[in-house]
Structure 1
């Protein structure tokens, strides 16, 4: 097999937020009720469950790279995630376009901590996705601190879902998913307790956008990705900070496959972002954070 390598200079953009929602065996990471509700919430058209090779091909066609991950919330949902090892192996096979992140449920305790180190050292995983609302934990809960220690020590990245989620939206009781866990202010404690940990706050953090901006401006290691929303809906203060104080800490993310990079980039073109800042958001900030530059 031909070894693929990433040429950052040739990339149009780096998408720091994409989901592997189905394994090679056809196993989905969300049950049907939650997946259908999410599809309705985002008004998804086209393929909701691309395979990892299909994701690689999709981004290769667009001359983009993508951070890809699953979400491990089995203790809360009863549904097994796409295996982290499968994500990492697919990324290794498509290293010109895919960057592997993993996801570990903090409720797994010491087993998760041990697995995190193995995923970094043996599989080349570059970061870890946490979804506090679905995983049902506050980011500053000590049960996750062992994981953060490994992530910080290995130089990996901790990416936290923040704000409202489309998962469970419209299902009675929201599918039992509680939004309170994903207030970005809880991540401020993590950033204070792990000062060298690289952190991404995912999404415009509705209804806590100002909290996210405050944390990102106060804590040097905290960044914000713009995934999950069309740029035409971005709060004005987010656009203001992206253009100024946070111009080196804001990152392009789509949330593919629930939101495509095609739609996101088309709407981003119309956003009042300074020309000098656009390449930072689309590629340069991510390349530096991921150690690709």
Structure 2
């Protein structure tokens, strides 16, 4: 594969949900307390650098979307630089796709940053974690940011459902689960009908809500990250096989869950043979605008 460009036809899968957890200077994406709670929930894991992530996915002939979470307002913890992530991904464009994260509390300054990240740094989408960032997705404070993302044709990826971040910490580390109900994103899909949206994770305890929103709103997709597939609710598997077969996406949540583990479980899941390649690659290639013969009409 040419290291200077991505060829979707040569990929076996596209992982739309991976985390940059450490910067070049060793700064973590979360505070030590929240990292500790996450490891209690998911188990301890290494925190690879972005070049290490590139090598990992290149070895598996996969591509990966990479992002961090900017939650400075709610947590007081400085983020990893979006520019650093974008520049590091640009050094590995055969396998890495840069997303960014801008705290919605930054208002119009954040919207200007988002525009710059797309136009000057090649960012393809934005990660929101409403529970950690401390905002409701349908709060108008985030709307200037959505306006820019929609205008530029980028993707908005929202964490939905419970989170392992803060689990077991007194008060959950101040993290409110209610903000990650996918029904709040339904309002966003109404108010920004051309905004490309991904609902991340099986949305426990709101799985049915997520399925309803994705079925009803043409622009809304679901990624399957954060859970081993053997634990997927049966209705998620049923919809992925049928009504949402063109809108469900492979995501791992690497490094907390590896694609190796995820794919081993997925191989045992009752998914139709013709649907598997859609979930593993084709749906993401189309949504991301990647060149792939399989996704062309």
* Interval of TM-score (by shorter of Structure 1 and Structure 2): over 0.9
Q: What root-mean-square deviation, in Å, do the aligned CA atoms of Structure 1 and Structure 2 show?
A: 0.9
Task: Name the structure 2 match of 1:181.
Answer: 179
- The partner residue of 1:108 within 106, 110, 128 is 106
Pair 1:123-2:90 in alignment? no
SS in 2 for 1:88: helix
Q: Deviations over 1:156-186 (max 9, x none)?
A: 0000000000000111111110000000000
SS of 2:213's equivalent?
helix
- 1:292 matched residue in structure 2: 290
Report the Cα distance in structure 2 between the residues aligned to 1:218 and 1:207, rounded to whole angstroms. Answer: 19
CA distance in 1, matches of 2:58, 2:115: 29
Q: Which residue of 2 aligns with 1:12?
A: 12
Equivalent residue in structure 2 for 1:218, among 216, 219, 225? 216
Which of 73, 76, 79 is the matching residue for 2:74?
76
Between the two proteins, the alignment pairs up a number of residues equal to: 290
Residues in 2 aligned to 1:213 and 1:111: alpha-carbon distance in whole angstroms: 33
- Post-superposition CA distance 1:173-214 (Å, at most 9, x none): 111100000000000000000010000000000000000000
Is 1:38 equivalent to 2:38 in the alignment? Answer: yes
**TM-score, normalised with respect to structure 1:** 0.98
C-alpha separation between the residues in 2 aligned to 1:59 and 1:40? 26
Report how far residue 78 of structure 1 moved.
1.1
Deviation of 1:40 (Å): 1.4
Q: Supply the distance in 1 between the matched residues of 2:108 and 2:8 (Cα, whole angstroms).
A: 36
- 5+ residue gaps, structure 1: none
Q: Which residue in 1 is equivalent to 2:253?
A: 255
Pick the aligned partner of 1:196 from 171, 194, 197.
194
Instruction: For residues 112-132 of structure 1, give each alpha carbon's deviation from its aligned partner in whole angstroms, at most 9, with x where no partner exists.
Output: 000000000000100000000
Q: What is the alpha-carbon distance in structure 1 between the residues aligned to residue 138 and residue 99 of structure 2?
A: 21
Measured against aligned partners, the alpha-carbon deviations of 1:134-173 in whole angstroms (never above 9, x if no partner) come to 0000000000000000000000000000000000011111
Distance, in Å, in 1 between the alignment partners of 2:183 and 2:163 is: 16
Q: What is the deviation of 1:232?
A: 0.2
Shift of 1:3: 5.4
Match of 1:164 among 162, 169, 179: 162
Give the 4+ runs in structure 1 shifted more than 2 A. Answer: none
How far off is 1:67 after superposition? Answer: 0.2
Question: 2-side partners of 1:91 and 1:212: how far apart?
Answer: 30
Deviations 1:62-97 (A, max 9, x none): 110000001000111111111000110011100000
Bigger CA drift: 106-115 or 35-44?
35-44
Paired with 1:107 and 1:122, the residues of 2 have a C-alpha distance of: 22
Is the partner of 1:145 in helix, strand or coil?
helix
Q: Secondary structure at the match of 1:102?
A: coil
